[in-house]
Amino acid sequence: HGRVDILHNNAGIGHAGPIEDTPLEDWRKILEVNVFGVVHGLHAFVPRMIEQGGDAHIVNTASMAGLVASAGMAPYVTSKFAVVGTSLTLDAELKRHGIRVTALCPGVIDTAIVKESTMRGAIEAKHEKLTGFYKKRGASPDVVARDAVTAILKKQVIKPSPWWQVSPAWWIMRISPRAYTALARRTYKSIIG
């Protein structure tokens, strides 16, 4: 009923599994929540934010998986690359209205996303182990919240969070996609055994 100064699109569910073990229903579910959750938020609020005028900011939660591909996570990676691409596009489009857009890209964060994720194939047997890894090694959600505020204040279009987890892989991927793909392949092999 008043101004919308900050819109935070934070819908997201996880998925992991080999492509051959991933049914179309999984693809639809991931894209509906992770992509269309953001689309619905934008559709509902952007016209209002344009009409109100003045400074405003949209933060779309993507993922490290929206910056660098991870084997065994095709639907999730696809959805998060879409969120990053949408954010980049809208920052360019909406800046003239005083609206800036950030793709917030968290890495390994201690939340329930892995515990509640759909797992398929060989990765399904590792579900408990992966959940424990996120619990033990994941950064606090407070770090991501702080980084989101920083991104808004500095008008950052892409915000890796925490930078020390996400940025090294992102840099490797940008400098040498072949080297990054080899690293992703080794990591995937170590997970599925």
Q: What is the CA 136 to chain-centroid distance, rounded?
A: 20
* Catalytic residue of the set 76, 134, 180, 188: 76
Instruction: Mark whether 134 is an active-site residue.
Output: no
**Per residue in 119-135, is it b (16+ CB within 10 Å) or e — as a string?**
bbebbeebeeebbeebe
Distance CA(120)–CA(126), nearest Å, equals 10
Q: Are 46 and 106 in contact (CB under 8 A)?
A: no
Instruction: Report the catalytic residues.
Output: 76
